[in-house]
Structure 1
Amino acid sequence: MYGPAAPASPRTGSGAGVIFVRVLLAALPLVSLGILAWGTTLRIAIMRQRLLEWLLFGLHVPLSFGCFATVGELPEESAWSDAALGVLLLTAIGSMAWFLVVDIRYQRERTAKHVMYDANPYARPQPYPPTPRISPELDDLSDLLRRKDDKR
C-alpha cells in the first residue's frame, strides 16, 4: 500500500514546439540559399556546448560570408563565382543534414534519460504515507477551538 509508486509512463514523441523549431532551422539554410546556414550550426553549438561544435560554427560563419561576398563581387561568368555559389549550396545542404542528425539524436538522448529516471521508482523521493491520528485529545482540542470560533 505504501510501497513505491508505479513508474510514470514514458514520454512518447516530441512536442509540437520542438518539431516547429526543428523544421524552421532545417529550412533556414535552403530558403536563404546558404546565407543563413550558420544559424543551424549556432543552434547545435548552443545546445550541445562542445568545443567541436563551436569550432565548426566559427569556421562556418566566415566561410558563408566569404562565399556570399565572392558571389556578389565577381561577375557571373567567373568560375570563382560559380565555385563560391556551389560551396554556399553545399554548406547549406550539409549544415541542414548535420543539424537534423544531431538534433534528433540529442532529443532521443534526452528522452532516454527521462525514461530511465521514470523507470526507477527509487530514483526520486516518494510521497510520505498518511500519518495516523496521534491521539483523540487532539481531536477534542480541535473541536473546542471550532466551537470558540463559532461563538464569535
Structure 2
Amino acid sequence: MSDTIRPSRTDTFEHTISGLLTKRADLFGEAERIRDRLAEIKNDVAAMDRVLGTLGYKGDLDAAMPRQKREVIFGRGELTRGCIDELRETGEPRTSRQVAEALLSVSGQDARDRKLMADHTRRVSKALRVLKGDGRVTAGKDGHGNMLWRLKPTKAS
C-alpha cells in the first residue's frame, strides 16, 4: 500500500452535488431551529414582563434592554420606489402580499420564509398607505376583503 492519498476524480459532480444538497438542507433546518428558539425567548421575555407588572414593577423595561444594532432592510425611499415600480410593471391591481413577494424575489430572498414574508408585507402595506395619502396610489377591495393597490392614473395632457 502506498502512503500517499490519491484524490478521487470523477467526470460528474454527483458527490459534490449530493454533499451540497445535504448541507443546504442542514442549514435550512438550523435556521428553522434558531427561529423557533428566538420565538421561545420572545415569549419568555413577554411572560417575565407580565409577571414584573403583576408584582408592581413600574420602571421602564425597554430602558433596561441592551442596545441592539438596528437592521436596515430598505434604504431611504427604496421601499416606496420598489412598490411603485412593481405596480407600474404589472399594470394590474396587486395586494400588499403580492407586492412584497415581488420585492423579495428581486432582492433574492426566500418568500417561503413566513416570518420574513409577514414582516415585508406589513412594511409594504404601510408604504402603500402612505402613498395613498400622498395621492400616488389608489386602493379597493377584492372579493375576500383584501386591499388591492394600483397606481393612480396620470392625467394625459
What TM bracket, shorter-length normalisation?
Answer: under 0.3
Q: TM-score scaled to structure 1, two decimals?
A: 0.26
Structure of larger gyration radius: 1
More strand by share: 2
Q: TM-score scaled to structure 2, two decimals?
A: 0.25
